Amino acid sequence: MRIKALSVFECVVYHCTLVDGSNPCQPTLEVEALLRDGDADSGPLLLPVAEYAVMVGDDVAKACLPDLARAGRVVDHLGSPHLAFRMWTAGDIITG
C-alpha cells in the first residue's frame, strides 16, 4: 500500500491520498509536501489510524492493525492511535 502525504505539520500527516491500495497490511508513505523545521525531523511521521481505516475499510484495518501494532507501527499521539512511518520516501518536497 502506498500513501502520499500532501500536508505534514509537527510529524502528523494531515492530508493524504491513496496511491496504491495493494498490500494494505504493509503501508508505506511518500511525502510530497511543504516541510518546515519540526515537521519531519523530530521522530516518525504519524498518520491517524482513523484515516488509514477510511482508505482500506474497517474490516481490512481490523485485520491489519494487530500485526502493525506488534511491529511497533501503532503509537499513541495525543490520546489517539496513529500509524508510525519511521522511514518514508521523499517526493517533491519544498522546505521553508
Query: Per-residue pLDDT tens for 33-79?
Result: 888 999 988 889 999 999 999 999 999 999 999 999 999 999 999 99
Q: Please report, rounded to a whole number, the percentage of residues in the chain having pLDDT higher than 70.
A: 95
The model's confidence at residue 17, banded by pLDDT at 50, 70 and 90, is very high
Phi and psi at 60, nearest 5°, equal -65, -45
0.85 surpassed by pTM: yes
pLDDT at 34: 86
Contact 7, 31 (CB under 8 A): no
Single-letter code of the amino acid located at 45 = L
